[in-house]
């Protein structure tokens, strides 16, 4: 059961060879992108999946398809990698930060509802560390206020919420295939939706605004480009299309995704066993109605007498591979601070279009997130060598013993 797992298997290599054998010729190509998109949509119970170059581009495309435009507000969480809120800025929109639930670390529906204004267009959730937020409450809020919901599921593959696979609940879901994620071709991402017209918008937006592409057609054909009267661009778009080689690897990864996710879950449980009985390490709570896919195992260090960096240092001294910190809250990053605010020119668009009073991006905005962010220890779960994982779990046990339960 717990033997060594090859993260990259024979299917990935076989599909890459198939693409290489085509010499990248569209006329005799492998149509790998379409094959991967179809398989991914089926795996996640969605009608359409549109592959992109990365998981930030996917969020940008989803925001566009959701109708988010310059000056609109999008409510999101500050406790995540800042690419989430940067995608909102890419759309010339204004990120509005909601607080989080202390024990799950997820965006708090009660905080979301308090922040809704006439300018709010969408809610962007994040399935942090592999766990879904309370999506039923969030979808109910969105329905009552006529808002679009976009799931950022970059860290959650094959997680479940009340029996539904994460990524199938909101209007749009975005997945990252960056190299640390549950499955990866090195880089990439997808947007999923059940809305056919929205899927067409996403495709055109992500493929330079070509009029002849659609939810089912990711490239233009020779019949298109060999026509001197072909009107190519019906709108402005971005060059976000996933390359065929990445699609080939991603398709192979998808075909053993269950195995890759299960390994992370098993490793997380191994670490949880090591910290059982420790009163000052508080794991992220997974509600009984959810299944956590454990992109990493996140716990809070709540003993004020143990300094975060000291704990990590001792863990490494005893043979640990290191421990990751939670990201600085997005609104506390230098780019958001009034004295040094730098949105790479986007601030001019926002200032010209925004009709409300900007949220005050400073300490005190999201008190729960601010309290727990410095406490979070994130342990790796991507150990393909089970013996290495067991060794790391034992190091954690020894580290806890050094400080005392």
- State the catalytic residues: 181
Q: Shortest CA distance to 139 belongs to which of 119, 169, 107?
A: 169
Number of H helices, E strands in the chain: 14, 14
> Which residues are 148's β-sheet partners?
122
In angstroms, the CA 178 to CA 192 distance is: 17
Q: Are 178 and 154 in contact (CB under 8 A)?
A: yes
Q: What are the residues facing 152 on neighbouring strands? A: 126, 174
Question: Which 8-state DSSP code applies to residue 308?
Answer: H
DSSP secondary structure string, 230-273?
A: ---BSS---B-BPPHHHHHHHHHHHTTHHHHHHHHHHHHHHHHH
The set of residues, in sequence order, having a beta carbon less than 8 Å from that of 83 and lying 6+ positions away, is 55, 56, 59
Q: What pairs with residue 57 in β-bridges? A: none
As a whole number of angstroms, the distance between CA 64 and CA 74 comes to: 12
Kindly compute the dihedral angle of the four CA atoms of residues 387, 391, 394, 395, in this order, to the nearest 10 degrees.
-160
Residue pair 376/298 in contact by the 8 Å Cβ criterion: yes
Q: What is the side-by-side strand order in the sheet with 172-176?
A: 48-52, 189-193, 172-176, 148-152, 120-126, 73-76, 94-97
Helix (H) or strand (E) holding 346: helix 346-353
Residue that the structure tokens 């730098």 belong to: 342
């Amino acid at each position: 059961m717990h033997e060594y797992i090859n993260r990259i298997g024979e299917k990935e290599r076989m599909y890459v060879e198939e693409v290489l054998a085509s010499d990248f010729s569209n006329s005799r190509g492998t149509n790998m992108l379409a094959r991967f998109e179809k398989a991914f949509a089926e795996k996640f119970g969605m009608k359409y999946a549109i592959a992109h170059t990365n998981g930030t581009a996917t969020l940008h495309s989803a925001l566009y398809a959701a109708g988010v435009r310059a000056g609109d507000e999008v409510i999101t969480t500050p406790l995540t990698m800042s690419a989430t809120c940067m995608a909102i800025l890419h759309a010339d929109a204004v990120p509005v930060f909601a607080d989080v639930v202390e024990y799950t670390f997820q965006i708090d529906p009660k905080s979301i509802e308090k922040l809704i204004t006439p300018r709010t267009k969408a809610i962007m959730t994040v399935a942090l560390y592999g766990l879904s937020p309370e999506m039923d409450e969030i979808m109910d809020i969105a329905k009552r206020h006529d808002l679009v919901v976009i799931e950022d599921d970059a860290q959650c593959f094959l997680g479940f919420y009340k029996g539904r696979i994460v990524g199938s609940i909101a209007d749009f879901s975005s997945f990252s295939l960056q190299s640390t994620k549950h499955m990866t071709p090195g880089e990439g991402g997808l947007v999923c939706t059940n809305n056919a017209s929205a899927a067409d918008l996403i495709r055109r937006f992500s493929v330079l605004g070509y009029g002849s592409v659609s939810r089912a057609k990711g490239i233009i054909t020779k019949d298109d480009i060999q026509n001197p009267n072909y009107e190519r661009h019906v709108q402005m778009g971005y060059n976000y299309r996933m390359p065929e080689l990445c699609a080939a690897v991603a398709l192979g990864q998808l075909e053993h995704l269950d195995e890759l996710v299960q390994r992370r879950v098993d490793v997380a449980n191994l670490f949880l066993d090591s910290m059982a009985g420790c009163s000052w390490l508080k794991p992220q709570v997974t509600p009984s109605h959810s299944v956590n896919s454990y992109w990493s195992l996140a716990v809070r260090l709540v003993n004020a007498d143990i300094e975060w960096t000291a704990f990590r240092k001792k863990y490494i001294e005893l043979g640990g591979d290191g421990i990751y910190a939670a990201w600085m809250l997005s609104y506390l990053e230098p780019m958001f601070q009034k004295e040094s605010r730098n949105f790479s020119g986007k601030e001019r668009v926002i200032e010209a279009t925004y009709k409300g009073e900007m949220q005050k991006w400073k300490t005190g905005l999201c008190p729960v997130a601010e309290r727990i962010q410095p406490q979070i220890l994130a342990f790796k779960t991507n150990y393909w060598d089970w013996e290495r994982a067991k060794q790391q779990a034992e190091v954690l046990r020894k580290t806890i013993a050094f400080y005392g339960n």
